[in-house]
Amino acid sequence: MPVKTYWLEHAWLGTHVEPGVALETGADGRIGALRTGVETPPPGAEVLRGLTVPGLANAHSHAFHRALRSLVQVGSGTFWTWREFMYQVAQNLTPETYFDLARAVYAEMALAGITNVGEFHYVHHARGGAPYADPNAMGEALIEAAAAAGIRITLLDTAYLSSGFGEAPNPHQLRFSDGTADAWAERVSALKPRGHALIGAAIHSVRAVPADQLATVARWAQERQAPLHVHLSEQTAENEACQAAHGRTPTQLLADHGVLGPRTTGVHNTHLTDGDIALLGGTTTGTCMCPTTERDLADGIGPAGRLQHAGSPLSLGSDSHAVIDLLEEARAMELDERLRSRTRGHWTANALLTAATADGHAALGLADAGRLEAGALADFTTIALDSVRTAGPLPRLGAETAVFAATASDVRHTVVGGRHIVRDGAHTLVPDVPSALAESIAALRG
């Protein structure tokens, strides 16, 4: 890829908005140089009008849940009734249909300014649980889908072995299970990273991986210095069942088996004790908040502020894809905390953007992304400052405008590895993203 210069009308540099920034991308897909005080575009530079920020990191995704949008909004119900709809969709996935759906979903993410996705992947096998000829056919489909959509992926291959604290998988869950953690480790070890893809690990939850097998998954991740994610205390029912089975909270159980640590991220972390918060913060275990899903499923509001204060870095995810909008996730984390505490200003706009960029990428194993600086991956996105939502504020308040007013619809450009993936609001690799979504979702209706 040739050296290219972008001129950023305004750029968020982590602490402030800088006008007139020239950014050079190199053949290695990284930022080669960044110059401030460039009042007019240099000759031949590509002009990006608006506010350019580092690419957004979607730290928690289940791509196939996108097929549930609106379907699960009919009537009422609970997380557990929602799960029955999810099982129905999962049963109809094949490597081919999953590629088509994930390609469309990841293209939707690119349109929303997302340059890297953490895919929490647990639909591994054919219906009934028999492995495909390639045991990693489903994971490979997701990796290829990300490439086709032009974004990066950290495939968080997920151990899912039990229907609950040692119980055998139910018929819907047979597709998810490798039988044992050792068998999971053998299968996932065959997956190889590539230019746009990293391989990480996940423990679905303490109810889905027996306690005596948690350490196997943690050891696999430790040996490879890979990210390790886990659904943690999303539901009070999980906490109660864990107490009944093990006499401790899920967080305590994970700590006892060596799961917590700086490369581990707990997803949701909603219903925690004071001791849980101290354990997560003391081990610098991360927290991925998914506010639009957590409120859609009526899960509750997690103690994000207390967790961060205790030492747990925050990242953001769109999870079930009720919407795909990382700006909304950032905004919702602050606004949900305001509702609970009845006070304002828990995080600055800079802090919320950091959760959506640098800290999100770090949670996915990419410490060299999420910043506009020389040597970082050349992944960035530009948000319009002249839409009906964003027009009016001073450009120096661009971070506040992006977080508290803009939506995914205001994303104008997305660049990944120096390559323009979204240009003027249109995807360059997937010409008609809405049609791709509609067709791939229709193919899953049983």
Report the candidate in 331, 277, 342, 326 with the shortest Cα–Cα distance to residue 304. Answer: 277
- Give the type of residue at 98: Y
**What phi and psi, each to the nearest 5 degrees, are found at residue 75?**
75, -155
Beta-bridge partners for 230:
203, 266
| Active site members | 268, 319
Helix axes 211-224, 181-188, angle to 10 degrees: 20
Q: Strand 286-289 relative to strand 114-121: parallel, antiparallel, unpaired?
A: unpaired
Kind plus residue range of the DSSP H or E element containing 404:
helix 398-404
Neighbour tally for 234: CB within 10 Å: 25
Alpha helices in 167-296 (DSSP H): 181-188, 211-224, 236-246, 250-256, 274-282, 291-296
Beta-bridge partners for 381:
53, 414
3-class secondary-structure state, position 52:
strand
Alpha helices in 1-121 (DSSP H): 79-91, 95-111
| Backbone φ/ψ region at 442: left (φ over 0), alpha (ψ -120 to 50), beta | alpha
Q: Strand 31-35 relative to strand 46-54: parallel, antiparallel, unpaired?
A: unpaired
Cα–Cα distance measured from residue 367 to residue 371, given in angstroms and rounded to the nearest whole number = 9
Whether the CB-CB separation of 397 and 19 falls below 8 Å is answered with no
Place of tokens 């604290």: 165
| Backbone φ/ψ region at 166: left (φ over 0), alpha (ψ -120 to 50), beta | left
How far lies 393's CA from each of 8, 385, 387, 397, 401, in Å?
18, 8, 11, 7, 7
Handedness of CA 325, 328, 332, 333 (dihedral sign): positive
Whether the CB-CB separation of 156 and 229 falls below 8 Å is answered with yes
